[in-house]
Amino acid sequence: MIIDNKTGKYFPKAFVYIGYALIVIGVLLVVEKGYTGIGLIIIGIYLGLSYIGIQIDPDKKKFKKYSCFFGLKKGTWESYNDYPYLSILDIREKHTSYSRGGVEYISKEKVYRVCLLNKTHRKKIIVKNFKSKEKASFSASKIAKQLEVQQTTYSPKASEKTRLRRKRK
C-alpha cells in the first residue's frame, strides 16, 4: 500500500488565488460567449490546482517527492533506509506579498510537520503537514508503525565544525 500525501501548493498563495479567479472568469466566458474562456480555465487549473507531495512505499522502503500538474505526478523514487527516525516539527510559515503600491502583506501560520529524519537529524523528508498538534501526533505514531521507523524528538547533533566554533566564543 502506497502512502500518498500532499505537502503544499506548487505556487505561492497569490498565484493560487489568481488561478481560482481565472477558472471562474473562464467558466463565465464559456457560458456567455462559447469557447473563448477555455484558455483561461486551463491556465487557472495550472496555477490553482498544482501541488507538491510525497508518495511512500513501505514495502519497498522507497519514497518519491513529486510535483503534480493536471493530475500527472512527476518525481523519482529513492530509498529511505538512511532515515530511521520520524519526528514532529512545529514550524512558523511566513508568506510575504506586496501590493502594487509597495505595501507589504505578511501572513504567518503555525504548521506541524511530520518528517523522516536521518541519523544526525540534519536531513529531513516532509511526510505530512497538520494545523493541530493532536492530529500530527496521532498521524505520526500511525506512520511510524507503517514505515517501521522509530518516533523520536527532533534534536540535531552538532557537527565538529560547529562545536569548535562555539568553543572559540
Q: Are residues 138 and 93 in the same domain?
A: yes
Q: Is the pLDDT of residue 105 over 70?
A: yes
User: Which residue shows C-alpha cell 510559515?
Assistant: 93
Q: Are residues 4 and 28 in the same domain?
A: yes
Q: Are residues 119 and 50 in the same domain?
A: no
Count the domains in the chain: 2
Q: What percent of the chain has pLDDT over 70?
A: 99
Q: Which of 61, 79, 97 is the last residue of a domain?
A: 79
**Which residue type sits at 77?**
W
Q: Are residues 53 and 104 in the same domain?
A: no
CA dist 3 and 117 (Å) reads 17
If you count DSSP H runs as helices and E runs as strands, how many of each does the chain have, helices first? 4, 8
Query: Is 96 within 8 Å of 109 (Cβ atoms)?
Result: no
Q: Are residues 2 and 62 in the same domain?
A: yes
Residue 108 structural domain: 81-155
pLDDT one-digit tens code per residue, 10-24 = 998 889 999 999 999
The answer to the question of residue 160 being in a domain is: no
Q: Are residues 75 and 117 in the same domain?
A: no
Q: Is the pLDDT of residue 98 over 70?
A: yes
CA dist 93 and 54 (Å) reads 19
> According to the model, what pLDDT value does residue 169 have?
66
